[in-house]
Amino acid sequence: MAESKYEGEVTEEKQCECSAEEITFLPCSGGSNCEQITNQVAIRLDEEGVGHIYCLAGIAAHIDGMVESARGAKRIVALDGCQVACARKAIEHAGLKVTDWICVTEEGVAKNHQFKLAPEEIDLIARRTKESLARPVAA
C-alpha cells in the first residue's frame, strides 16, 4: 500500500498490464472529429491485427514502465488529427522516435466539432496508415 497525495487516503500501487507490440499506434483522441478519427483508426487496425493501440496519456505522463514498453516497438505510429501534432510531440517529448506520422487534416479531412464520424474518412486514414507501414522506416 502507498500513501496517496490526498490526505488520509491510502492507495494500492497499480501497474499497467499493457505492452507495446511490434507496431504501436498512439492516437491523439482529442476534442474534434479529426482526433476521434485517429482513435477509430487505431482501434480498427488493432482489431485487424495490424498493430496494437497503446496509451498516449501514459507516454505523455512519462510513466516509466509504459515509456520503456513502447521503446520496444519496431514502429511507433503517431496518429494526429491536425497539424498541431500533439501525439507526435508527446511521443518525442518522452524520448521516443516516431517512425510513422499520420495527420488527418493533411489528408483533406476538415476539422470540426461534429462527432458523427464519416466512415469513408476513417477508411481513408486507415488506408493511409497501412500505406505508411508498407514503406521501410526512414533511417
Q: How do residues 15-36 score in pLDDT, each as one tens digit?
A: 544 445 699 999 999 999 999 9
For residue 12, pLDDT over 60 is answered with: no
Q: Which domains does the chain have, with CATH numbers?
A: 17-131 (3.40.50)
For residue 5, pLDDT over 60 is answered with: no
Residue-wise pLDDT tens digits, 36-57: 999 999 999 999 999 999 999 9
Average pLDDT over residues 100-104: 98
Entry pTM: 0.85
User: How far is Cα 45 from Cα 7, in angstroms, rounded to an integer?
Assistant: 43
Confidence of residue 74 (pLDDT cuts 50, 70, 90): very high
Output DSSP code: residue 111: P
Specify whether the backbone of 85 is left (phi greater than 0), alpha (psi in -120 to 50) or beta. Answer: left
Is 115 within 8 Å of 63 (Cβ atoms)? no
Identity of the amino acid at 104: V
Query: Cell triple for residue 97?
Result: 522516435
Q: Which residue has the cell 496517496?
A: 4
Tell me whether residue 101 is exposed, middle or buried, using C-beta atoms within 10 angstroms of its C-beta: 0 to 12, 13 to 18, 19 or more.
middle
Considering only CA atoms, which of 99, 92, 87 is closest in space to residue 22? Answer: 99
